[in-house]
Amino acid sequence: MDEQALRALLESYRSGAVDLDQVVQRMRNLPFEDLGFAKVDHHRAIRCGFPEVVYCEGKTVEQVVAIIEAKVAGGGNVLATRASESAAGAVADRFPQADCCSLARTVTIRQRDPEPCPGHVAIVAAGTSDLPVAEEARVTAEIMDQTTRTFYDVGVAGIHRLLAHSGELQAANVLVVVAGMEGALASVVGGLVDRPVIAVPTSVGYGASFGGLAALLAMLNSCASGVTAVNIDNGFAAGYSAALINRLAQTGT
Amino acid sequence: MDEQALRALLESYRSGAVDLDQVVQRMRNLPFEDLGFAKVDHHRAIRCGFPEVVYCEGKTVEQVVAIIEAKVAGGGNVLATRASESAAGAVADRFPQADCCSLARTVTIRQRDPEPCPGHVAIVAAGTSDLPVAEEARVTAEIMDQTTRTFYDVGVAGIHRLLAHSGELQAANVLVVVAGMEGALASVVGGLVDRPVIAVPTSVGYGASFGGLAALLAMLNSCASGVTAVNIDNGFAAGYSAALINRLAQTGT
Amino acid sequence: MDEQALRALLESYRSGAVDLDQVVQRMRNLPFEDLGFAKVDHHRAIRCGFPEVVYCEGKTVEQVVAIIEAKVAGGGNVLATRASESAAGAVADRFPQADCCSLARTVTIRQRDPEPCPGHVAIVAAGTSDLPVAEEARVTAEIMDQTTRTFYDVGVAGIHRLLAHSGELQAANVLVVVAGMEGALASVVGGLVDRPVIAVPTSVGYGASFGGLAALLAMLNSCASGVTAVNIDNGFAAGYSAALINRLAQTGT
Amino acid sequence: MDEQALRALLESYRSGAVDLDQVVQRMRNLPFEDLGFAKVDHHRAIRCGFPEVVYCEGKTVEQVVAIIEAKVAGGGNVLATRASESAAGAVADRFPQADCCSLARTVTIRQRDPEPCPGHVAIVAAGTSDLPVAEEARVTAEIMDQTTRTFYDVGVAGIHRLLAHSGELQAANVLVVVAGMEGALASVVGGLVDRPVIAVPTSVGYGASFGGLAALLAMLNSCASGVTAVNIDNGFAAGYSAALINRLAQTGT
Amino acid sequence: MDEQALRALLESYRSGAVDLDQVVQRMRNLPFEDLGFAKVDHHRAIRCGFPEVVYCEGKTVEQVVAIIEAKVAGGGNVLATRASESAAGAVADRFPQADCCSLARTVTIRQRDPEPCPGHVAIVAAGTSDLPVAEEARVTAEIMDQTTRTFYDVGVAGIHRLLAHSGELQAANVLVVVAGMEGALASVVGGLVDRPVIAVPTSVGYGASFGGLAALLAMLNSCASGVTAVNIDNGFAAGYSAALINRLAQTGT
Amino acid sequence: MDEQALRALLESYRSGAVDLDQVVQRMRNLPFEDLGFAKVDHHRAIRCGFPEVVYCEGKTVEQVVAIIEAKVAGGGNVLATRASESAAGAVADRFPQADCCSLARTVTIRQRDPEPCPGHVAIVAAGTSDLPVAEEARVTAEIMDQTTRTFYDVGVAGIHRLLAHSGELQAANVLVVVAGMEGALASVVGGLVDRPVIAVPTSVGYGASFGGLAALLAMLNSCASGVTAVNIDNGFAAGYSAALINRLAQTGT
Amino acid sequence: MDEQALRALLESYRSGAVDLDQVVQRMRNLPFEDLGFAKVDHHRAIRCGFPEVVYCEGKTVEQVVAIIEAKVAGGGNVLATRASESAAGAVADRFPQADCCSLARTVTIRQRDPEPCPGHVAIVAAGTSDLPVAEEARVTAEIMDQTTRTFYDVGVAGIHRLLAHSGELQAANVLVVVAGMEGALASVVGGLVDRPVIAVPTSVGYGASFGGLAALLAMLNSCASGVTAVNIDNGFAAGYSAALINRLAQTGT
Amino acid sequence: MDEQALRALLESYRSGAVDLDQVVQRMRNLPFEDLGFAKVDHHRAIRCGFPEVVYCEGKTVEQVVAIIEAKVAGGGNVLATRASESAAGAVADRFPQADCCSLARTVTIRQRDPEPCPGHVAIVAAGTSDLPVAEEARVTAEIMDQTTRTFYDVGVAGIHRLLAHSGELQAANVLVVVAGMEGALASVVGGLVDRPVIAVPTSVGYGASFGGLAALLAMLNSCASGVTAVNIDNGFAAGYSAALINRLAQTGT
Amino acid at B13: Y
Yes or no: say if A120 and A149 are a contact pair by the CB < 8 Å rule.
Answer: yes
What does pLDDT average to over chain F? 84
- Contact criterion met (CB below 8 Å) for B218 and D213: no
- In whole numbers, what is the pLDDT of chain H averaged over residues? 84
Choose among F3, F10, F27: nearest Cβ to G35. F27
Lowest mean pLDDT of B184-198, H20-34, H92-106, name the range. Answer: H20-34
- Across the interface, which of F126, F209, F217 has its CB nearest the CB of C213? F217
pLDDT of residue G36: 31
Given this model, what pLDDT does residue G136 score? 97
State how far the Cα of G52 lies from the Cα of G144, in Å rounded to an integer: 10
Q: What is the mean pLDDT of each run of 10 residues along chain A (253 residues)?
A: 64 81 60 32 45 84 90 87 95 96 95 83 93 96 95 88 86 96 94 94 87 94 94 96 90 56
Residues 6+ apart with CB under 8 A from D117: D145, D146, D147, D246, D247, D249, D250
Would you call E7 helix, strand, or coil by DSSP?
Answer: helix
Distance between CA atoms of residues B134 and A75, nearest Å:
40
G106 contact partners, CB below 8 Å, separation of at least 6: G79, G80, G81, G83, G100, G135, G136, G139, G140
pLDDT in tens, chain E (253 residues): 445 666 777 788 888 888 877 776 665 444 333 333 322 333 344 444 577 788 898 788 998 999 899 888 878 899 999 999 999 999 999 999 999 999 999 999 999 888 777 789 999 999 888 999 999 999 999 999 999 999 998 989 888 888 888 888 989 999 999 999 999 999 999 999 989 999 999 998 878 888 999 999 999 999 899 999 999 999 999 999 999 999 988 665 4
Banded model confidence at residue D37, pLDDT cuts 50, 70, 90: very low
Distant-in-sequence, close-in-space partners of E6: CB < 8 Å, separation ≥ 6: D24, D27, E30, E35
D20–E contact, CB cutoff 8 A? yes
Contacts of A195 in chain B (CB under 8 A): 244, 248
Query: What is the residue-wise DSSP string for C32-85?
Result: GS--SHHHHHHHHHHHHTPPEEEE-TT--HHHHHHHHHHHHHHTS-EEEES--H
Cross-chain CB nearest to H233 (options A160, A166, A206): A206
F211-226: average pLDDT: 93
Q: Which residues contact D137 (CB under 8 A, 6 or more apart)?
A: D123, D176, D178, D200, D235, D236, D238, D239, D242
> What is the arithmetic mean of pLDDT over G231-243?
96
Bridge partners (DSSP) listed for residue D125? D178
Helix (H, G, I), strand (E, B) or coil at G176: strand
Check residue F112 and give its pLDDT. 85
- Check if D182 contacts B (Cβ < 8 Å): yes
Q: Is G160 on the interface with B (CB under 8 A)?
A: yes
The pLDDT > 90 percentage for chain C reads 51
Q: What is the pLDDT of residue H47?
A: 41
| Average pLDDT along chain B | 84
Helical H runs in chain A?
Answer: 3-14, 20-28, 37-48, 61-74, 85-94, 131-143, 159-163, 166-170, 185-192, 213-220, 235-251
Task: Please judge whether H28 and B37 are an interchain contact, meaning their C-beta atoms are less than 8 angstroms apart.
Answer: yes
Contacts with D4 from chain E: Cβ below 8 Å: none
CA distance H190 to E159: 10
- Per-residue confidence (pLDDT) for residue F22, from 0 to 100: 74
Angle between helices A3-14 and C20-28 (to 10 degrees): 130
Q: Looking at residues C222-242, what average pLDDT do you find?
A: 95
What pLDDT is stored for residue B231 in this prediction? 96
Each residue of D122-145: b (16+ CB within 10 Å) or e? Answer: bbbbbbbbbbbbbbbbbbbbbbbb
Distance CA D46, CA D52 (A): 9
Alpha-carbon distance of F87 to F101, in angstroms, equals: 12
In this predicted structure, the answer to whether residue H5 has a pLDDT above a threshold of 80 is: no
The DSSP symbol for G103 reads T
Q: In this predicted structure, what is the pLDDT of residue C186?
A: 96
Q: Nearest 5 degrees, angle CA E198-CA E202-CA E208?
A: 125
Compute the distance between CA of residue E52 and CA of residue E44 in angstroms, rounded to an integer.
12
How close does chain C come to B204, measured CA to CA in Å? Answer: 10
Q: Is the dihedral of CA B5, B11, B14, B18 positive or negative?
A: negative
pLDDT over 70, % of chain B = 86
pLDDT at position B148 over 60 = yes
Other beta carbons less than 10 A from residue H53's beta carbon:
16
Average pLDDT of chain G is 84
User: Who's near D237: CB < 8 A, 6+ residues apart?
Assistant: C225, C227, C228, D200, D230, D231
The verdict on a CB contact (< 8 Å) between H38 and A160 is yes
Residue spans of beta strands (DSSP E) within B180-251:
197-201, 227-229
Longest dimension (CA), chain G: 79
**What value does the mean pLDDT take over residues G221-231?**
94
Shortest distance between the Cα of B74 and any Cα of chain A, in A, equals 19
Paired with G179 in beta bridges are G201
Question: Out of D166-180, E157-171, F34-48, F183-197, which region has the weakest mean confidence (pLDDT)?
Answer: F34-48
Instruction: Indicate yes or no: CB of C203 within 8 angstroms of CB of B207.
Output: yes
pLDDT score of G158: 81
- Comparing D223-232, E144-153, E173-182, G69-78, which segment has the lowest mean pLDDT? G69-78
The pLDDT value given to residue G85: 95
Distances D219 to B14, B184, C237 between C-alpha atoms, Å:
73, 10, 12
B26-35: burial string, b at 16+ Cβ within 10 Å, e else: bbeebbbbeb
Report the candidate in D216, F126, F183, F155 with the shortest Cα–Cα distance to residue H208: F183
Q: What is the pLDDT of residue G20?
A: 77
State the Cα torsion D77-D83-D87-D91 to the nearest 10°.
Answer: 10
pLDDT for G9-21, tens place per residue? 778 888 888 877 7
Residue H30 touches partner B, C-beta closer than 8 Å: yes
Sign of CA dihedral H33, H35, H36, H37: negative
Cβ pair H33:A167 closer than 8 A: yes
pTM, full prediction: 0.84
Which DSSP symbol is given to H194?
A: S
Q: How many helices (H) does chain E have, and how many strands (E)?
A: 11, 9
CA distances from E227 to B181, C46, E138, E205, F234 (A): 41, 61, 18, 22, 12
G27·F6 Cβ contact <8 A:
yes
Which chain F residues contact residue D56 at CB under 8 A? none
Task: Determine contact, residues C111/C16, Cβ cutoff 8 Å.
Answer: no
Q: Is D4 exposed, middle or buried (0-12, 13-18, 19+ CB in 10 A)?
A: exposed
- Would the pLDDT of C132 be above 70? yes
Asked if pLDDT for residue G79 goes beyond 60, the answer is yes
C-alpha to C-alpha distance for C26 and C45, rounded to whole angstroms: 30
What φ, ψ does residue F231 adopt, rounded to 5°?
Answer: -65, 160
> Residue C158 and residue F208: Cβ atoms within 8 Å?
no
Residues across chain G = 253
ipTM tops 0.85? no
Mean pLDDT lowest among C73-87, F105-119, H3-17, H79-93? H3-17
Rounded CA separation B164/B153 (Å): 12
Nearest-10 Cα torsion for B159, B162, B163, B166: -160
Residue G35 — pLDDT band, cuts 50, 70, 90? very low
pLDDT at C47 over 50: no
Taking the Cβ of residue A31 and every Cβ of chain C, the question of whether any pair is shorter than 8 Å is answered with: yes
Cβ–Cβ < 8 Å for E201, C206? no
Q: CA-CA distance, F176 to F137, in Å (whole number)? A: 8
* Nearest chain E alpha carbon to H216: E214
Q: Is B189 helix (H, G, I), strand (E, B) or coil?
A: helix
| Bridge partners, F229 (sequence order) | E229, F199
CB C133 within 8 A of CB C235: yes
B209-213, B227-231, G61-65, H15-19: segment of lowest average pLDDT: H15-19
Count of CB pairs separated by less than 8 Å, A with H: 39
- Between B163 and C117, name the one with better pLDDT: B163
Is the CB of D160 inside 8 Å of chain C's CB atoms?
A: yes
User: Which range, A6-10, C81-85, F9-13, is most confident?
Assistant: C81-85
Residue H26: pLDDT band with limits 50, 70, 90: low
- D208: nearest CB among A41, A58, A216: A216
Residue F78 has pLDDT above 90, yes or no: yes
More confident position, B232 or G204:
B232
User: Per-residue DSSP letters for D164-191?
Assistant: TTHHHHHT-SEEEEEE-TT-THHHHHHH
Residues 6+ apart with CB under 8 A from B25: none
What are the residues facing H142 on neighbouring strands?
none
What's the rounded Cα separation, in Å, for the pair F225 and A124? 57
pLDDT value of position D78: 93
Residues contacting residue F250 through CB under 8 Å, at least 6 positions apart: E252, F117, F118, F119
List residues bridging with G198 in a β-sheet.
G176, G228
Residue B4 pLDDT level (bands cut at 50, 70, 90): low
Write down the pLDDT at residue D17. 83
Among G164, G204, G207, whose Cβ lies nearest the Cβ of B232? Answer: G207
| Full strand arrangement of the beta sheet holding D227-229 | C147-151, C120-125, C174-179, C197-201, C227-229, D227-229, D197-201, D174-179, D120-125, D147-151
Q: Which pLDDT value is given to residue G33? A: 32
Question: pLDDT at position A25, please?
Answer: 59
Percent of the residues in chain G that have a pLDDT greater than 90, as a whole number: 52
**pLDDT of G167-215, one tens digit each?**
889 899 999 999 999 999 999 999 999 899 999 999 988 788 889 999 9
Question: Tens digits of per-residue pLDDT, H45-67?
Answer: 444 457 778 889 878 899 899 98
CA dist F9 and F1 (Å) reads 10
Q: Within 10 A of G65 (CB to CB), how many other CB atoms are there?
A: 17
CB contact under 8 A, E229 and F226: no
pLDDT at C45: 45
Q: Which of B6-15, F47-56, G243-252 has the highest mean pLDDT?
A: G243-252
Cα F126 from Cα G249, distance rounded (Å): 60
